[in-house]
Amino acid sequence: MSVKSSPLPPPPQEGNPVATEMFEKMRKSFLEKASEEDKEKYMKFGERFYDSFDVNTGSPIQQDDASGNPTICMEEALAYVVESLKSGLHPSRLTYDEAMIVRAGYGEEWYEKWGYTKEDIPSELLQ
């Protein structure tokens, strides 16, 4: 299995040059510190994430799996997990993929939005 050179998308070429520079510094710092295993995980997650919506319009893309069944788009998956957490589901009951979806949507310390601390979350859901 070959891994692409970078698990993170390139910075935007237009827009705010300060934001672009800041993004590039964060990207470089991550790549220097991340293990190959982490890079692979982010690469796979990124591919699934970017395949779930049209980058030009922001609209979700409904895809079918190998059996012809529709797959759930990223937007729907995030909404489902968020509703579960709002309804009282303890974050420790999330699957790894669900935790990664919430992390992608709310950042590294996503659990704080629902009043939890890092100690409340199993370490495998924080990787």
What whole-number percentage of the chain has pLDDT above 90?
24
Structural domain count, the chain: 1
3-class DSSP state of 75: helix
Burial of 81 (0-12, 13-18, 19+ CB in 10 A): buried
pLDDT at 13: 56
**pLDDT reported for residue 10:** 57
pLDDT value of position 32 = 83
Token look-up 């669900």 returns: 98
Is 44 inside any structural domain?
yes
pLDDT under 70: residue ranges of the chain = 1-16, 55, 58-73
Q: Looking at the domain assignment, is residue 16 inside a domain?
A: no
Q: Which domain holds residue 112?
A: 36-127
pTM: 0.46
Domain membership of residue 120 (yes or no) is: yes
pLDDT tens for 41-70 read 777 777 777 777 776 776 666 666 666 665
